[in-house]
Each structure stands twice: as structure tokens, then as C-alpha cells.
Amino acid sequence: MKGEDVIVFLHIQKTGGTTFGRHLVQNVRLEVPCDCRPGQKKCTCYRPNRRETWLFSRFSTGWSCGLHADWTELTNCVPGVLDRRESAAAKTPR
């Protein structure tokens, strides 16, 4: 999670995707675990020492590219969403 790559989780209905997606943000052992707050549907998954996300999924960014976006929709949408999120995080006072 220290590099520049981003995992894009393609959620496919009726395949256990919801369970697996939730597992990615709640149970994977990382140097900096995802921040999942009670009552919120999304978790914040930042890289160590940076306010950049390593995971693009329903549970980390919400339905940013539309409900059950397919591969083509995600390919066209993900770079712009990540750019907007990271520029907004950079503007946030630390």
C-alpha cells in the first residue's frame, strides 16, 4: 500500500461482493488500517503517511461511478474521481 497503485474493486451483484468488499476495509491487516466509524457506510483507506487512498470500492468511495458500474464505466470514471478526492484532501488544513 506504499506504492502508487490503487485497487479497484469491481462489485458484481449476487456474487458475495458486498461481503468481500466489507472484508477489504474492515479485516485486512495493514500498516495503516482503514478508518471505519460506527454508523457510517464508508471507510477511509489512506496510504501510510499520505492522504491518498489505495482502495476504490463501494466501502471506501461510495458509488462514485454509479450503482454497480461495469469495467468500462470504472475505467473512464476512476482517474477523475481519485484526482478530485486527492486535490480536496490536499486543501484540507492539517
The string of pLDDT tens digits covering residues 47-73 is 888 888 888 888 888 888 887 788 888
Choice among 2, 23, 50, 68 that is catalytic: 68
Please report the pLDDT score of residue 94 as a whole number: 44
Cα–Cα dist 58/62, whole Å: 4
* pLDDT tops 80 at residue 90: no
Q: Flag whether 74 is in a domain.
A: yes
Q: Are 80 and 43 contacting, i.e. CB atoms less than 8 angstroms apart? A: no
Q: Flag whether 2 is in a domain.
A: no
What does pLDDT average to over the chain?
Answer: 82
Q: Flag whether 63 is in a domain.
A: yes
Please tell me whether the overall predicted TM-score, pTM, comes out greater than 0.75 for this model. no
Q: Does the active-site annotation cover 23?
A: no
Please report the pLDDT score of residue 80 as a whole number: 92
Q: Flag whether 34 is in a domain.
A: yes
| Domain count of the fold of the chain | 1
Mean pLDDT of 33-59: 87
Please report the pLDDT score of residue 91 as a whole number: 62
| Domain that residue 70 falls in | 7-91
Please report the pLDDT score of residue 88 as a whole number: 74
Q: Flag whether 53 is in a domain.
A: yes
